[in-house]
Amino acid sequence: MPDVGLLTPGADLGPGSPVAVTDDVAVLRALLAAEAAWVRAQARCGVVPAAVASVVDRAVVTLAADDGAALALATEVARDATGGGNPVIPLVARLRAAVESGCGPAVDAGSSVADVVGAVHAGLTSQDVLDTALVLVLRDAGRAADAGLGRAVDAAAGLARRYRDLPALGRTLTQPAVPTTLGARCAGWLQAVAEARARLADATHALPLAFGGAAGTLAGTDALTPSDGPLRLVDAWAAELGLPVTPGPWHVTRFPVVRAAAALAEVCAALGTVAADVLVGARAEVGELREPAAPGRGASSAMAHKRNPVLSVLVRRSALAAPALASQVLASAGQAVDERPDGAWHAEWPALQQLARHAVASAHAAAELLDGLEVDTAAVARHLREQLGVDADVDTGAAATVVDRVLDRYAPVDGSAGSAPRGTAGR
């Protein structure tokens, strides 16, 4: 049965949502996109006529014409993937059948049916296609997360400015410490989220095309372009997909996905700190913070009086889940062997998919949380007075200076940082 995010609350099905950019339909479409781009690359290099690439493009559109068709195809492919150990093999069979049934225009232009069908997946291996598809999914997830992170950065900066000079009780090891300001705490959130955003942008923009053929030697690909070398065809494939190309294959040197996994996990960790602080501040006995209200949000199935801090709970959920998922990717990378992994590669797939989903979900939830976070300034002052015996006129050290430095780096008034598609934090 398909995974629609039933057990990942907050991963809704809307456009750009965590499920929509990471689910099995997204993976299926990325696989088809990789295969179609490979044939277009062959057309670019003169290996096949342009009419062949057009036929393949139309077949891809037909196979995944809408979400219903794509989901049905993904379900069939998943069922049949057991035989070959990966979904590419049954998907290629279906793509070739669709190409054959629709190859009339290319045949009319002078190509044989065998040549048209044979262009699909020619010279590739399953890992080339699946790794490239996962790169496309991770790239889309990075973009979706960045949108939420950008909002979170802006909101955290606004909170830091607004409460720059508001004295607040500092807490260390869960106990009352010296005074700080609420703005300094928010500036800490800003710095962590901005840094995580920058790392994610760097990692996802650098995700490269996967290539190598059966054993990393481009066997089969070289036969397609004997005059000018197989890497010209690889470069054309990368251009079609808008991906960089590494000097050599990374079938068993998994640095691209390891770095992406680390960046996705860092996003979850940075946002988890925000959520943890809000959850403490939202406790009834503390009462300094409140999540933004929304119809139906925070309801309890058993206690009608409750207003649960659901956004923070969901962000914390992802912060708790991410480390194990990232660890799975790293453990698998360390077990890759020979010229193609024997199971380690397979173990990365679900971990990467879930990690990407958690990063997007937590970014979206944190953006909404920080956008509407409510502060009870009277409660902030009361705790400072009760715990330390001081009022609002209190020495907060260099808290205001710290806030200003953080804002200058990550969210200057002119907007030159914090809103860019690619982060520049810490540089």
| For residue 297, pLDDT beyond 90 | no
Residues 54 and 116 in one domain: yes
pLDDT score of 417 more than 80: no
Measured in residues, the chain has a length of: 427
Neighbours of 309 (CB within 10 A): 21
pLDDT exceeds cutoff 60 at 191: yes
**Which is nearest to 264 in space by CA: 357, 188, 331?**
357
Q: How does residue 350 score in pLDDT terms, banded at 50, 70 and 90?
A: very high
Provide the number of structural domains found in the chain: 2
130 shares a domain with 115: no
Does residue 325 contact residue 354 with C-beta atoms inside 8 Å?
yes
Asked if 352 and 326 sit in the same domain, the reply is yes
Written as six digits, the tokens of 46 are 């003169």
Alpha-carbon distance 198 to 312, whole Å?
22
- Rounded CA separation 102/63 (Å): 12
How high is the pLDDT of residue 305?
A: 52
Q: What is the pLDDT of residue 302?
A: 45
Structural element, H or E, at residue 375: strand 374-375
Q: Do both 133 and 254 map to the same domain?
A: yes
pLDDT at 321 over 70: yes
Position with higher pLDDT, 424 vs 63: 63
In which region does residue 181 sit, left (phi positive, over 0), alpha (psi from -120 to 50) or beta (all else)? Answer: beta
Q: Which of 49-58, 230-239, 388-397 has the lowest mean pLDDT?
A: 388-397
Q: Read off φ and ψ for residue 198, nearest 5 degrees.
A: -65, -45
- Residue in the block written with tokens 């057991």: 82
If asked whether residues 112 and 165 sit together in one domain, one would say: no
Q: Sorting pLDDT into bands at 50, 70 and 90, what band is 338?
A: confident
Residue finishing a domain among 221, 241, 261: 241
Any idea what the Cα angle at residue 231 is, between residues 227 and 235, rounded to 5°?
A: 120
User: Residue range 379-403: average pLDDT?
Assistant: 91
Q: Percent of the chain having pLDDT more than 90?
A: 77
What is the reported pLDDT for 422? 40
- pLDDT for residue 250: 96
Q: Are 137 and 17 members of one domain? A: no
- CA atoms within a 13 Å half-sphere pointing along the CA-CB vector of 122: 25
Q: Are 182 and 380 in contact (CB under 8 A)?
A: yes
Q: Which of 199, 340, 357, 409 is catalytic?
A: 340
153 and 225 belong to one structural domain: no
Known catalytic residue at 340: yes
Q: Which is more confidently placed, 301 or 403?
A: 403
Mean pLDDT of the chain: 90
Judge if 68 and 191 occupy the same domain: no
* Boundary (domain end) residue, out of 223, 241, 259: 241
Task: For residue 426, name the pLDDT band (cuts at 50, 70, 90).
Answer: very low
300 is catalytic: yes
Three-state DSSP class for 168? strand
Residue (of 107, 123, 113) closest to 45 by Cα position: 123
According to the model, what pLDDT value does residue 299 have?
46
- Give the domain CATH number at 95: 1.10.275.10
Would you call 254 exposed, middle or buried from its count of C-beta atoms within 10 A (0-12, 13-18, 19+)? buried
Last-in-domain residue among 241, 260, 290? 241
Q: Which of 77-81, 88-92, 406-410, 414-418 has the lowest mean pLDDT?
A: 414-418
Query: Tens of pLDDT along 224-237?
Result: 776 667 799 999 99
Q: How far is residue 275's CA from residue 280's CA, in Å, rounded to a whole number?
A: 9
Cβ atoms of residues 170 and 178 within 8 Å: yes
Mean pLDDT of 390-399: 87
The per-residue pLDDT for 15 is 60
Find the domain containing 332 and state its range: 125-210+250-427
Q: Spell out the SS3 assignment of 121-145.
A: CCCCCHHHHHHHHHHHHHHHHHHHH
Mean pLDDT of the region 337-365: 92
List the catalytic residue out of 101, 112, 283, 300. 300
If asked whether residues 180 and 41 sit together in one domain, one would say no
> For residue 377, what is the enclosing H or E element?
helix 377-388
What contacts 24+ positions apart, CB below 8 Å, involve 173-182?
A: 176/387, 176/388, 178/388, 178/397, 179/384, 179/388, 179/390, 179/394, 179/395, 179/396, 179/397, 180/396, 180/397, 180/399, 181/396, 181/399, 181/400, 181/403, 182/288, 182/375, 182/380
Say which residue the tokens 């066997």 belong to: 219
Lowest mean pLDDT among 82-96, 136-150, 305-319: 305-319
Residue 424 neighbours by CB under 8 Å, 6+ apart: 198, 417
The dihedral built from the CA positions of residue 331, 333, 334 and 337, taken in this order, carries a sign that is positive
Task: Name the amino acid, one letter, at 139.
Answer: R
User: Which residues are CB-contacts of 46 (< 8 A; sequence separation ≥ 6)?
Assistant: none
Does 199 share its domain with 217?
Answer: no
| pLDDT at residue 351 tops 60 | yes
Q: Are residues 339 and 401 in the same domain?
A: yes
pLDDT of residue 17: 76
Residue percentage of the chain with pLDDT more than 70: 92
What mean pLDDT is predicted for residues 46-67?
Answer: 95
Residues 290 and 415 in one domain: yes
Instruction: Identify the pLDDT of residue 16.
Output: 65
Tokens representing residue 56 in the block: 């393949």
Q: What is the CATH number of the domain that holds 380?
A: 1.20.200.10
Residue pair 245/209 in contact (Cβ under 8 Å)? The answer is yes
Of 128, 131, 133, the C-alpha closest to 211 is 128
